[in-house]
Structure formats: structure tokens, C-alpha cells
Amino acid sequence: MKIKAVRRPETPEQARDWARELGEQALYVAGGTGLHFMTDPAEMVAIPLDRIGLRGVECSGRHYRIGALTPLADVMNYRAERWAFHETGRRTATHQIRNISTVGGNICRVFPWCDLPVALLALEATMVLLGDDGYAVPADDYFASQPARRLANGDLLLAVDVPVLEAHMGFGYRKEVICHSGFSLMTVAARLRLEGDRIRDARVAAGAALPFPARLKQVEALLADQPATPDTFARAATEGVREVAWKGREDWSDAYAAHAAAIAVRDALDRALTFARRRDW
């Protein structure tokens, strides 16, 4: 890719208007850490978003709103009641990358190793966008295909709304890498809701070892209304991932990725259960 010009907007609306004016030549730039993976030879006009705000985390009561330009380091360091998204932020790349890479950049053009999509799917997040008007897209729809296609018309991601974790709900995250700073080879996120000693419902998602991040709906079905026991988790993790087309990367074979998936799912569920049992409010 060749950047032939740069335009610096002062507001989200100005950024959107310029992107629509430029059409296919427009390129929103947040942290910019993914630019060297974009090998298209086309000439582009960069629209850096560093002057338009959209940074920080705030609680509205029912959800936490994360500005699209919030660095991952800020997500990692944020702490609050009924919040667990920092577990994902702290496992992403290196501290230097987390200082630069943004939440929006991580989910507007999804590469196989992106860490945030699986957590947002499990947490039932909603993406807030600016088009002709403001509108919201649930994570299941937003990650149904490459978000960059949805945003090709110049629409701009403004924020991500992550629901608060209610009483008896827990979140777990597991990531596999070869080395600390390496790309993700397997990511799994799980959110459980308990009712007594049983699992009322579950949301489980995986990425990196899949062509695109996705919910593991068979795992979820095997967990629903079941006792929250090691045997339940073992069955769901083993049987629930069996029909998924896992894809190994780097030194992993497809068969090894499938084996690792079952372990990662169980670990994420164990962490979510521990979290949920500590929370009765």
C-alpha cells in the first residue's frame, strides 16, 4: 500500500464525510500497528483519527462504554466492579504495542491473531457506529463477516459497549502463543451465568485457530442448564469442539489445534466459574 496524502479530521463527522468523499481511497488510521500487514498496492489517502477524541472507558450503569481510540494499555489498566475485559487487554502483544494499538483498530479490520473479537462475542458487546446517524450492531452481527467490508462506505466506529457482569456471572479468557510477544495461535473466551449450582446460560467464542472468530454454539448448548462441574466442562469442551474446522498456524497442525481447543475451552470455563462463584451481587 502507498499513502499518497494525509487528511487530519477534527471531529468524527468530518472524518466520516472525508471518507465518503474519497471512497475506496480512504484509509482510517488509529494506532497504525496493522498497516504493514496490508499488502494491497493501491494508493490511499490516510485519515488519522488521533484528534477526534473517542478515548476512555466510562460506566453507564448497564454497560461500560469504551471509546474506539482507547489504547489497549488503558483497557488493561482499567479496573471497576462488574468489569473483566482487562483480562483480554493484558494478554495482547507487548507493552509497546498496547500503548499504540487501539480497541477500534483491533476490531475494524480483523486479522486471524486479533485478540478482542472473541472476548466481545462472549461478553455480548455492541459496537456503536456513525453513519448517516448513530447506530448499534451486536457483536454476533458485527463479527459475522470481516468488519472492514461493513465500514467500506465510510461509516466510523465510535465505541464499544460491554455489558456489566451481573450477579453470578463470570468471565474467563485463555490465549495460546509460542512466546509472550507472539501472535495468537488459539484464543477462547467464556461467559457463564450461574443459577445455584447449575449453568443458566453460557457464551463461548474462539479465534486464531479458526478462519474468523466465532461463537462455539455446540459448546454453549452442552453447558446450558447443566451442573457446573468438571465433568460438564470436560464433556462440553471435548464434544463441543469436535465438529469445528480448526486450523493450525505456525508449527501447529490442524489436529493439534483441535486438541488445544478442547483444553483452552475447559480452562476458560474453569476461570469463568471461579469468577462467577465469587460474585453474589
- Per residue in 16-33, pLDDT (tens digit) is 999 999 999 999 999 988
Furthest-apart CA pair in the chain: how many Å? Answer: 60
Q: What is the pLDDT of residue 195?
A: 96
pLDDT of 94 above 90: no
Q: What is the rounded distance in angstroms from the CA atom of residue 150 to the CA atom of residue 224? A: 32
Q: What is the pLDDT of residue 178?
A: 86
- Indicate if 122 and 64 belong to the same structural domain: yes
pLDDT category, 111, cuts 50, 70, 90? confident
pLDDT category, 60, cuts 50, 70, 90? confident
Specify the CATH number for the domain of residue 242. Answer: 3.30.390.50
Q: Provide the pairing of β-strand 126-130 with 214-215.
A: unpaired
Average pLDDT score, the chain: 93
Give the predicted TM-score (pTM) of the model.
Answer: 0.95
- Where is pLDDT greater, at 201 or 88? 201
Q: What is the rounded distance in angstroms from the CA atom of residue 83 to the CA atom of residue 235? A: 28
Consecutive H or E run containing 137: strand 134-138
pLDDT of 231 above 90: yes
- Indicate if 183 and 215 belong to the same structural domain: yes
Domain that holds residue 72: 57-163
Of 107, 135, 163, the residue at which a domain comes to its end is 163
- Indicate if 81 and 158 belong to the same structural domain: yes
Of 119, 143, 163, the residue at which a domain comes to its end is 163
Q: What is the mean pLDDT of residues 195-207?
A: 97
